[in-house]
Structure 1
């Protein structure tokens, strides 16, 4: 599966120019058979080669010469419980982190919130990085959603493949910035539950199916 590992490295390297990450922060994974490839812990993305990418099983074991990301648990739990998920991305992007540090859900200030599966982007409760408890609260915030914020931490997105995961992360950071900017001018006017329900219905047939 060398090509899959190469695609994973390319996605990880795309995070910094997209404004999602700096240095070794964040992590990315992609489903492979009954397990998943994930970026290794504490290694700069620019230096990665395919042999640096660990292959993890759903029982938490891994193969390869490098240790997996310390956040492997919420990647594993998404793959174990969400068969539609093919790739997971976690980033410490500036506007997502800013809102996460306020422990704020993002309300329906813009209809594109519905792109992530509901009428809000939830913020998970705080738990220390790399812990099973962080995965537990992240899974609760991700229920029925493609993304969430992690309190005092960052963002988490789940896509059908690496391309969608990266696109969702970029879109979420943009929404976080737009919400932050709108709040500088006043209290954003929110879409109603009925208006968001109509958007969610319309999204079912949006784009190339």
Structure 2
């Protein structure tokens, strides 16, 4: 019996061998592309440490203060009754502290609304991955009179009494601003915009402003 002839050397490959070679080439190309992608992929940004974040937030918050111009006409004779409850203290002071007071004043002031970031520390932050919760510190209101524009007209007050009157007016302005919900919201929204922009720049992906931090370890 004659033995079967072996395939001639250098002959064409069978279909299975051809498929195997194609798969090997494709797999090699895929692995090469994957390796190149891993090498070229930008590294995930490392988030800064909490003390650094706190300091940068303080720096931004110092610049983010809402300023409002105010003015008020005040008549401090004994007869008229104050229609604004916040300003009754000014007229009552004039009525009981002065001898036959009379006159009027036009008082101008600037009010500054911002958050007291001197009290802001790592206990006001909670980080979970790239999400950060922020609990803002108490709001701070400061009122400064504008003496160059304030006028006291037809007054029988001496200089000390005039200074007392203006201080009472400043405190009344401060009370007025503290009770103004619209101004409080404007100041909060302005601060949140600036702080959110900062935190996103630092690498966080989600910034949530809350009244209380979620259960867990702050900072």
* Structure with max Cα Rg: 2
| Greater length-normalized contact order (CA 8 Å, ≥ 6 residues apart) | 2
Q: TM-score, normalised by structure 1?
A: 0.20
TM-score for the superposition, normalised by structure 2: 0.20
